[in-house]
């Protein structure tokens, strides 16, 4: 069980506001990426985020470009999961491939507000906050192997026997 | 029960019949990447094998920050060139060629029935030629380099039927903006879009590319136009490689079917800061414009540049509106040069940029200051994308952009010919 705080945002949080294009083609270490996380959406976020915090957002989280830094910067910032009503397709894939948990749960998104304490139990499939419990569907079996291996690079290594 | 294009092509690749919702592991025909190849090389090295599995399937086109805007970008490009040489990759296109989505098509890789994965969200463009083309991330691209495989969920399909013909001053960009505005930026998330109906075959190749490119802005995995004689003639002029035209069955099952009458359309504009915040141009007419960008992989082909040049010929752009021309590729640039289009645009006061992506993603070559407004023919208007977070991006057709450049404010192209 991991405890964190909620950072709540709206629908269509796009990759440009998660990780601005002006930094996209500069190779950056993860801790540097974390400093720019959500820079054009919420300038307080990168300064105040703590390990274990959770982003809660509406539909189509991560829409826009295919840049993986938009997933990597949140993981580097210590975000343990993004809970949203839905995710943009490429973002969803990138997050899994990089080991950032992405959970779909309409009820939690409706109920939670910024600053709420939140606990996520990935095995039980539950989100708990202030005595309220929300269930989420676990990831499809076909992608679980990648997550369990710790991301696509590790998964591929294993597949190639390296 | 019939199958959609996407179901059929992924069934062929998987070697078993599959339907929407199933997950397949397949070997793609090509894997595209651009300046982000430097990051992909980093991921590839983490895997720990020395050689890529299928060098002939890897296409690398440098376009995002070309020529290199600073030393870091120069180092990225150098890293990529060294990798290309070391791995003996046959399909490498250095900075002089243009935007990857245009170049890949011009070089004859975007063929009917091919499965093309690209480490860029606008990979959907190749659906204009009846390919199955979808964007992926960098780590996935590295994994394809290593294994020649990728997992894909077979998408449901949204069919969009067009009938009627465009009124004066209305173009494919207006049609696709209208569609995105009506349906929302996530309407086709995880889905395929088939652009069809009696008018789909009337769209030029360039217009089909505009629409398939913008399918990404509805969240789609891939867009698709059924190949016709125009498609086959276009690709056969560029390659002798074998391909098989794959089309949906007449009784294919669609998630939904939408219908649009082109004759009822008027010029559309996507307002800040989402691509689905679409209004008729006349509703935002008069908004002062500081910069106009005509070009990109969405609208930077000869057809687009000529629409702009017809409007700007013999005239001068507004003194308060700097105007950038960004041809989609060197081939488009050369054709426009030969036909005098570039000269017309330059004489009107436009700045002619080298083919590439630069200003579209706010990387270099004309960023916006706080409080500035741009009318751009590109595909994305997210906050801060083209410069300062307090700048405003409007997306429109080349005609709306060119007329707005003349007037110095957002202007419906039907008010001036």
Q: How many CB atoms lie within 10 A of CB A8?
A: 16
User: Rounded to an integer, what distance in angstroms lies between the CA atom of residue B55 and that of residue B30?
Assistant: 10
Share of chain B above pLDDT 90, in %: 96
Tokens for B33? 């990447």
| Secondary structure of B78-98 as H, E, C letters | HHHHHHHHHHCCCEEECCCCE
CATH class of B268-412: alpha beta
Burial of B356 (0-12, 13-18, 19+ CB in 10 A): buried
Of the two residues A25 and B205, the one the predictor is more confident about is B205
Q: Report the mean per-residue pLDDT for chain B.
A: 97
Question: How many domains in chain A?
Answer: 1
A23 to chain B nearest CA, in Å?
Answer: 8
The pLDDT value given to residue B313: 98
Q: Measured between alpha carbons, how far is B377 from B386 in angstroms, rounded to an integer?
A: 12
Tell which of A90, A96, A104, A162 to mutate to test the B interface (max B CBs under 10 Å). Answer: A90
Q: Is the dihedral of CA A38, A44, A50, A54 positive or negative?
A: negative
CA-closest candidate to residue B152, choices B124, B111, B117: B117
Judge contact between B198 and B117, C-beta under 8 A: no
pLDDT for the residue A123? 76
User: Per-residue pLDDT averaged across B69-86, rounded?
Assistant: 97
Alpha helices in B148-218 (DSSP H): 172-183, 205-214
Compute the half-sphere exposure of residue B181: CA atoms within 13 Å on the CB side of its CA: 22
Q: Are B8 and B94 in contact (CB under 8 A)?
A: no
C-alpha angle with apex A97: A92 to A102, nearest 5 degrees? 40
- CA distances B176 to B24, B160, B349, B412, Å, are 30, 10, 29, 17
Nearest chain B residue to A15 by CA distance is B382
| Higher pLDDT, residue B25 or B334 | B334
SS3 A13: coil
pLDDT at residue number A137: 73
* Contact (CB<8Å) B65/A25: yes
Long-range contacts of A136-139, Cβ-Cβ distance < 8 Å, separation of 24 or more: A136/A83, A136/A103, A136/A104, A136/A105, A136/A108, A137/A104, A139/A96
What's the pLDDT tens digit per position in B31-40? Answer: 999 999 999 9
| pLDDT confidence tier of residue B416, bands split at 50, 70 and 90 | confident
B361 contacts A21? CB cut-off 8 A: yes
Crossing angle for the helix pair B138-147 and A89-98, nearest 10 degrees? 70
Cα separation, B68 vs B71, whole angstroms: 7
Q: Where are the alpha helices (DSSP H) in B61-137?
A: 71-87, 100-106
Closest to B45 measured CA to CA, from A157, A75, A70, A161: A157
Q: Which ipTM was obtained for this model?
A: 0.79
Residue intervals of chain B classified under CATH 3.30.499.10 are: 5-260, 268-412
Rounded CA-CA distance B153/B131 in Å is: 16
Q: How many helices (H) and strands (E) does chain A have?
A: 8, 7
Optimal mutation site among B6, B39, B137, interface A, most CBs of chain A within 10 A: B137
Using DSSP's 3-state secondary structure scheme, residue B58 falls into strand
Q: What is the pLDDT of residue B60?
A: 98
Which one, of B273, B270, B267, B292, lies nearest residue B348 by Cα? B292
Q: What is the pLDDT of residues B273-313, one digit of tens each?
A: 999 999 999 999 999 999 999 999 999 999 999 999 999 99
pLDDT at B404: 98
State the smallest CA–CA distance between residue A39 and chain B in angstroms. 10
Taking only the tens of pLDDT, chain A with its 162 residues reads 578 999 999 999 999 999 988 888 777 898 999 999 999 999 999 999 999 999 999 999 999 888 899 999 999 999 999 999 999 988 998 998 888 889 999 999 999 999 999 999 887 889 999 999 999 877 766 676 787 787 899 999 998 998
A25 contacts B36? CB cut-off 8 A: yes
Q: Lowest-confidence range among A75-79, A143-147, B154-158, B412-416?
A: A143-147
Q: How far apart are CA B403 and CA B156, in angstroms?
A: 39
Number of CB pairs, chain A paired with chain B, less than 8 A apart? 131
How far apart CA B111 and CA B231 sit, in angstroms, is 9
Burial (CB count <10 Å: 0-12, 13-18, 19+), residue B370: exposed
Task: Report chain A residues whose CB lies below 8 A from the CB of B363.
Answer: 21-22, 24-25
- How high is the pLDDT of residue B287? 97
CA angle B330, B355, B270 (to 5 degrees): 125
Q: HSE (CB half, 13 Å, CA atoms) of B90?
A: 7
Q: B361-399: per-residue pLDDT in tens? A: 999 999 999 999 999 999 999 999 999 999 999 999 999
The H or E element that residue B291 is part of is strand B291-295
Cis peptide before B67 (omega within 30 of 0): yes
pLDDT reported for residue B86: 98
B19 to chain A, any CB pair closer than 8 A? The answer is no
- Cα torsion A32, A33, A36, A40 to 10°: value is 160
DSSP A79-147: --EEEES-B-HHHHHHHHHHT-EEEE-HHHHHH--TT-EEEEETTTTEEEETTEEEE-PPPPHHHHHHH
Q: Do B143 and A153 touch (CB under 8 A)?
A: yes
Q: How many residues does chain A have?
A: 162
What CATH superfamily classification does B5-260 receive? Aconitase, domain 3 (3.30.499.10)
Asked if B382 reaches chain A (Cβ–Cβ under 8 Å), the answer is yes
Q: Per-residue pLDDT for B417 more than 60?
A: no
pLDDT, tens digit, 9 for 90 and up, residues B246-271: 999 999 999 999 999 999 999 999 99
Q: Which segments of B195-329 does DSSP mark as H helices, in order?
A: 205-214, 229-236, 296-299, 302-312
Q: Give mean pLDDT, residues B151-169.
A: 95
The CATH number of the domain holding residue A8 is 3.20.19.10
Q: Return the number of other C-beta atoms located less than 10 Å from residue A48's C-beta.
A: 10
pLDDT for A149 equals 81
Instruction: Please give the Cα distance from B57 to B13 (Å, whole number).
Output: 15
Provide the CA B387 distance to its chain's centre, in angstroms: 20
Q: Which residue range(s) make up the domain with A40? A: 2-159
């Amino acid at each position: 069980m991991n405890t964190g705080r909620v950072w709540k945002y709206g629908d269509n949080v796009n990759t440009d506001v998660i990780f601005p294009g002006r930094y996209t083609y500069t190779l950056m270490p993860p801790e540097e990426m974390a400093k720019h996380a959500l820079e054009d959406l919420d300038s307080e976020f990168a300064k105040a985020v703590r390990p274990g915090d959770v982003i809660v957002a509406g539909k189509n989280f991560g829409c826009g470009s295919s840049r993986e830094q938009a997933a990597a910067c949140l993981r580097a910032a210590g975000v343990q999961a993004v809970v949203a009503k839905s995710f943009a397709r490429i973002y969803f894939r990138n997050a899994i491939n990089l080991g950032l948990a992405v959970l779909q749960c309409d009820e939690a998104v409706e109920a939670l507000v910024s600053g709420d304490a939140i606990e996520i139990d990935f095995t039980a499939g539950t989100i708990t906050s202030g005595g309220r419990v929300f269930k989420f569907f676990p990831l499809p079996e076909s992608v679980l192997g990648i997550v369990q291996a710790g991301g696509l690079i590790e998964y591929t290594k294993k597949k190639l026997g390296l | 029960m019939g199958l959609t294009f996407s179901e059929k092509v992924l069934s062929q690749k998987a070697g078993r019949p599959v339907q929407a919702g199933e997950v397949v592991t397949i070997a793609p025909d090509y894997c595209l990447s651009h300046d982000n190849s430097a990051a992909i090389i980093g991921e590839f090295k983490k895997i720990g094998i020395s050689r890529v599995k299928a060098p002939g399937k890897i296409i690398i086109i440098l376009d995002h920050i070309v020529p290199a805007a600073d030393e870091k970008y120069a180092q990225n490009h150098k890293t990529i060139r060294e990798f290309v040489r070391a791995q003996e990759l046959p399909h490498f296109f250095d900075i002089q060629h243009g935007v990857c989505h245009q170049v890949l098509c011009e070089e004859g890789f975007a063929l009917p029935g091919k499965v093309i994965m690209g480490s860029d969200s606008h990979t959907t463009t190749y659906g204009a030629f009846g390919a199955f083309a979808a964007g992926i991330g960098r780590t996935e691209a590295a994994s394809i380099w290593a294994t020649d495989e990728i997992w894909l969920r077979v998408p449901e399909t949204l069919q969009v039927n067009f009938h009627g013909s465009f009124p004066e001053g209305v173009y494919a960009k207006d049609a696709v903006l209208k569609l995105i505005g009506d349906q929302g930026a996530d309407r086709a998330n995880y889905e395929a879009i088939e652009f069809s109906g009696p008018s789909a075959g009337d769209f030029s190749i360039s217009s089909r590319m505009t629409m398939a490119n913008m399918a990404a802005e509805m969240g789609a995995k891939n867009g698709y136009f059924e190949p016709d004689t125009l498609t086959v003639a276009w690709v056969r002029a560029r390659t002798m490689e074998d391909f098989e035209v794959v089309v949906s069955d007449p009784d294919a099952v669609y998630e939904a079917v939408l219908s649009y009458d082109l004759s009822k359309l008027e010029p559309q504009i996507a307002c800040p800061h989402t691509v689905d915040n679409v209004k008729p141009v006349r509703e935002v007419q008069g908004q002062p414009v500081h910069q106009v960008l005509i070009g990109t992989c969405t609208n930077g082909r000869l057809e687009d540049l000529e629409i702009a040049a017809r409007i700007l010929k013999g005239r001068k752009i507004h003194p308060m509106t700097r105007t950038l021309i960004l041809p989609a590729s060197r081939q488009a640039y050369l054709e426009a040069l030969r036909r005098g289009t570039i000269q017309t645009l330059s004489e009107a006061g436009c700045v002619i940029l080298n083919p590439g992506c630069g200003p579209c993603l706010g990387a270099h070559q004309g960023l916006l200051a706080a409080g500035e407004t741009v009318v751009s023919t590109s595909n994305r208007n997210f906050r801060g994308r083209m410069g300062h977070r307090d700048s405003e991006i409007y997306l429109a057709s080349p005609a709306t952009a060119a007329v707005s450049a003349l007037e110095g404010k957002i202007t419906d192209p039907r008010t001036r010919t």
